[in-house]
Structure 1
Amino acid sequence: RDARYYERQRAALEAGLLWGAYHYGDATNPIGQADHFVNAVASARPPIRPADPEKRQGVLLVLDFEKNGHYPGGTMSVAQAVAFVERIKERTGKYPGLYCSEYRLRQMLYGPGATSAHRQTLANCWLWIANYHAEPRNTAPWRTWRMWQYCGDGKCNLRPRSLFPKSVANIRKAERNIFRGDNATLQAFWRENAWYPSG
């Protein structure tokens, strides 16, 4: 858990930015992970609560479904990812986004142990996909990606990613993402998919 989560959230919202939170999945109990994630996000309620429902600030939730060699639990399986996203839906009323590299997505969703039922459930999530070489094309079972992480090292020289921003406020070595759509579409997407913790 990020000890500075609330501080970062407050600064982002006060700057007029949209806010999201992600959970880096591992192979331990997926229900326990989902509950921990929801509880952590709920405990840091947005500090600015406008009366206008259109201006409420929700939190976009995401499952980071990458290979995990950082924690003792290891890598989350497809079945565990399904249990995690179903628990998030049960607790919040919203499916989270699913973040994964294009290669890993193919490997996990069409590899041993993955079923069409798993793919169907995960397709309820919106897709945030990483590919640092080219625009992602192989996104099945999704028709397309919603967010694309096109750069992670500040070296965005290959097309088409060389056309997108390489630095923000002099920060160069940071991940870069693009949303599929214009600003109005982004705002509507966030309102529709964000979770609004009560309180």
Structure 2
Amino acid sequence: MHGIDVARYQGDIDWKVAARSGVAFAWIKATEGGDHLDKKFYDNWYGAKEAGVPRGAYHFYYFCRTPEEQAAWFIANVPYDPDALPMVLDMEWNNHSKTCTRIPKPDVVRKEMVTFLEIMEGYYGKRPVIYTDYNFHTDNLEGVFNGHHFWLRSIPRHPSERFPGRRWTFWQYTAQGNVDGIKGHVDRNTFVGSWEDWKKFLKGDF
């Protein structure tokens, strides 16, 4: 089970071609902080659905906005669709941000995450997936949020090596993938289970 994650950087995507090439699922960037909407979100959101590609939206967390503001912004921009994958909360340190240099302590990070995640689950009716990388996970997430599915960035080593003890569901294994229907490179991801497990995940039973 291999999929992709996309944002405006991929430009115009031919989703029907991508689907025929074997893309089994897609995570689509929707929002960031409390005032940014990816300019290709709606094209990708509706294009993927029309092509029959299961897709979910993700939010890139910004540490200089409250979780309530960010949740409201996501809800204002991402349509409620019971057929969509659970939304994803993307948690990474953004050391290159020119507008936010705040680095909260772990207990504050986790408290803000709980607030955001509870709002998302309450509105969309599905428990969100948490995306993270090695540094952020080491600093803030070891041993917590075990009731959530995790999507881990682990390039090029397997998640079991870099995230020992962490139960994971999705693995982002390269940023240099190539997929028919997309010009240039795209992130590639895999689902941890079998086809039967995937069907269970879509129903919320995995």
TM over 0.5: yes
1 or 2, which has the higher strand percentage? 2
Q: Is the 8 A contact 1:123 1:141 kept in 2?
A: no
Q: Structure 1 residue 78: deviation in Å?
A: 2.6
Separation in structure 1 between the aligned mates of residue 98 and residue 171 of structure 2, nearest angstrom = 26
State the one-letter code of the partner of 2:187: E
Separation in structure 1 between the aligned mates of residue 185 and residue 153 of structure 2, nearest angstrom = 16
Aligned residues: 160
Q: Is the 8 A contact 1:147 1:180 kept in 2?
A: yes
Deviations along 1:15-67, one digit per CA (max 9) or x if unpaired, are 1101110000011100111121122112xx66xxxxxxxxx622420000011
Q: Structure 1 residue 94: deviation in Å?
A: 2.2
Q: Is the 8 A contact 2:86 2:127 kept in 1?
A: no
Instruction: Give secondary structure in 1 for the equivalent of 2:186.
Output: coil
Q: Which residue of 1 aligns with 2:156?
A: 133
Which portions of structure 1, spanning 4 or more consecutive aligned residues, are displaced by more than 3 angstroms?
Answer: 73-76, 138-142
Match of 1:57 among 77, 83, 99: 83
Q: Which residue of 2 aligns with 1:2?
A: 38
TM-score (norm 2): 0.67
Match of 1:108 among 127, 134, 140: 140
Q: Structure 1 residue 97: deviation in Å?
A: 0.4
Identity, in percent, stands at 25
Match of 1:15 among 42, 47, 51: 51
Q: RMSD over aligned Cα, in angstroms?
A: 2.5
Counterparts of residues 182-193 of structure 1 (less than 5 Å): 182-192=194-204
Unaligned segments of structure 2, at least 5 residues: 1-36
Separation in structure 1 between the aligned mates of residue 39 and residue 88 of structure 2, nearest angstrom = 18
Counterparts of residues 37-186 of structure 1 (less than 5 Å): 37-42=74-79, 57-68=83-94, 69-70=96-97, 72-74=99-101, 77-110=109-142, 119=144, 122-137=145-160, 138-139=162-163, 142=166, 144-152=167-175, 154=176, 166-169=177-180, 171-186=183-198
Q: Structure 1 residue 71: deviation in Å?
A: 6.1
Q: Is the 8 A contact 1:129 1:147 kept in 2?
A: yes
Larger RCO: 1 or 2 (CA < 8 Å, sep 6+) = 2
Deviations along 1:143-199, one digit per CA (max 9) or x if unpaired, are x210000111x1xxxxxxxxxxx4211745221111111233223312328xxxxxx
Q: Which has the larger radius of gyration?
A: 1
Instruction: Give secondary structure in 1 for the equivalent of 2:57.
Output: strand
Q: Which residue of 2 aligns with 1:157?
A: none
Unaligned segments of structure 1, at least 5 residues: 47-55, 111-115, 155-165, 194-199
